[in-house]
Structure 1
Amino acid sequence: MKNIGIIGSEGRMGRTIAALLDGSAGHAGGVDAGEDVAALAGASDVLVDFSAPGALEANLLAARETATPIMIGTTGLGERHHALIDEAAQDIAILQAANTSLGVNLLAHLVRDAAARLGTEWDIEIVEMHHRHKVDAPSGTALLFGEAAAAGRETTLGEVAEEGRAGLDCTRTEGAIGFASLRGGSVAGDHQVVFAAEGERIELGHRAESREIFARGAIRAALWLAGKPAGRYAMADVLGL
């Protein structure tokens, strides 16, 4: 088994991945904020990063210096972070995923297909709910579904997204993809993509019942990534979609 090093080992995801790898020859160890990422990278066949956006640049640098593939599951990334990933992917294999659940990524494929086959007279709304401690909204997974729907309609999410509706004039724009974010309790992650037309509605959804589904997907993605040539990969590649 390939050795997996965990960046962000004290976070929720880091601890869950470590628990699944506990006692396994595939666990190279982990680091958290302020610890030596380069040493972990050198001891690992592949890294998984569930730390924070602010740590991404240093983590990519360590991975490049040791030629270690890295699977990035950190959410809340912006354009600058994606530019850094694109640059680093010229030298090492990188898989970046807003959500590592195999079920979620298969659902994204179905959302794209549905959006491509239905016209813009079908309104698309994406509703997500997470635990009270989640800081970013919409969730990375909701954005993944939005990007899939936009791609199915041969446009970009930036052109059609509608977020945070409030006030007296919230008339829906034709072709828009709407988002609603709910926060509360200990919800691991609920997502629903609604296609609504006159007289009918299609609802595609995914409900995470345990954080382990993301950890298992991350481990599978990391093992798949180990040994791959330099480039940028996605969970769809792991699933062969």
Structure 2
Amino acid sequence: MATEIIVLGAKGRMGSTIARLADNDPDYALCAVIEREGNTDGLEVYSTFVSTNLQDALLKYPSAVVIDFTVPKVSLDTVKCCKEVGGKAVIGTTGFSSEELSYLKENSKDISLLWAPNMSVGINVLLKILPQLVKILGEKYDLEISEIHHKFKKDAPSGTALKLAQCLAEARGVDLDKVGKFCRHGIIGERSSEEIGVQTLRGGDVVGDHTVYFLGPGERIEITHRAHSRETFAQGALRAAKWLAHQKPGKLYSMSDVLN
């Protein structure tokens, strides 16, 4: 049976990709596409329910999974709406504050909710193997991350870079809020062994590049993930939605849960 999908922000870079893929894949039924008031022109190409109101779509298709790659404020409204009418949601939005993430976790007790800053299978496999490298290489290896995205991206560092940094910090048993270095400028002194650096580059139309560095005595290891197309993330989001459609509330699910 096809998984019913509602795409929020259907004219955005990610939303349009997800809607197109869902509309052309028999494993999914694109039930509705949602956009803000005055921005729905062209969405009739999908031959589905077009609306500016998510609640209307959820009431019409109560079994559908909402996929939301928008901005934090809109995504929080999505969660609120799902809670009010009993919907399920896959959230790929980045840039949440710690308080906003706490809101997602709290509401995941009542609705089936999945959040991941990166939906690609490759990145989520990387998150599984990085802790092993940290432990095997030991404390003599300095940990750094660089990320590059297109010039239109609004948040920095990327949600993926932060997730990678948190993964490294947890493997080291340290608090990223205390050891993270997100900008270096001027006479800053020697690098401490505890630091985890996260550096941001923006420009052009780069979909997303992330490199994790293990900088040791006499050698270095670089692990790079490059997303060649937004379809990588869109396919992951659809896979997550298919999985979430059969899950009950109780925790804030992640791509790790899907892959396991």
User: What is the TM-score when the length of structure 2 is the normalising length?
Assistant: 0.88
Q: How many residues end up aligned between the 2 structures?
A: 240
Q: Deviations over 1:76-121 (max 9, x none)?
A: 1111211210121110111100000011111111112212333222
Specify which of 216, 235, 238 is matched with residue 255 of structure 2. Answer: 235
Distance in 1, matches of 2:195 and 2:137, equals: 13
Partner of 1:14: 15
Report Cα offsets for 1:130-174 as digits up to 9, x if no partner: 111111111111111101111111223212111110112242121
Larger displacement relative to structure 2 (9-18 or 23-32): 23-32
Give the whole-Å Cα distance in 2 for the aligned partners of 1:128 and 1:88.
31
The aligned residue for residue 32 of structure 1 is 35
- What percentage of aligned pairs have identical amino acids? 39
User: Residue deviations 1:217-237, cap 9 Å, x none?
Assistant: 000011111120102111111
Shift of 1:216: 0.4
Q: 1:128–1:181: 8 Å Cα contact kept in structure 2?
A: yes
Task: Tell me if structure 2 keeps the 8 A contact 1:115–1:150.
Answer: no
Asked which structure has the greater CA Rg, the reply is 2
Structure scoring higher RCO (CA < 8 A, sep ≥ 6) equals: 1
Match of 1:4 in 2: 5
Aligned to 1:179, what secondary structure does the other structure show? strand
**2:204 is aligned with 1:201:** no
1:125 and 2:126 matched: no
List, as ranges, runs of 4+ consecutive aligned residues in structure 1 with deviation greater than 3 Å.
Answer: none
Task: Name the stretch that deviates more: 114-123 or 224-233.
Answer: 114-123
Alignment of 1:38-53 (within 5 A): 38-42=55-59, 43=61, 44-53=63-72
Distance in 1 of aligned mates of 2:122 and 2:254 = 14
* Aligned residue type for 2:55: A
Contact 1:121-1:175 within 8 A present in 2 as well = no
Match of 2:207 among 164, 167, 188: 188
Measured in 2, the distance between the counterparts of 1:219 and 1:110 equals 24
After superposition, give the CA deviation of every residue in 1:23-77 in whole Å (9 maximum; x if it has no partner): 5551111212352111222315211111111112221111112222111100111
Q: 2:96 matched to which residue of 1?
A: 77
Give, in whole Å, the separation in 1 of the partners of 2:81 and 2:14: 21
**TM value normalised by structure 1:** 0.95
Secondary structure class of the residue paired with 1:26: strand
Superposition pairs for residues 64-213 of structure 1, below 5 Å?
64-213=83-232
The answer as to whether partners of 1:56 and 1:81 remain within 8 angstroms in 2 is no
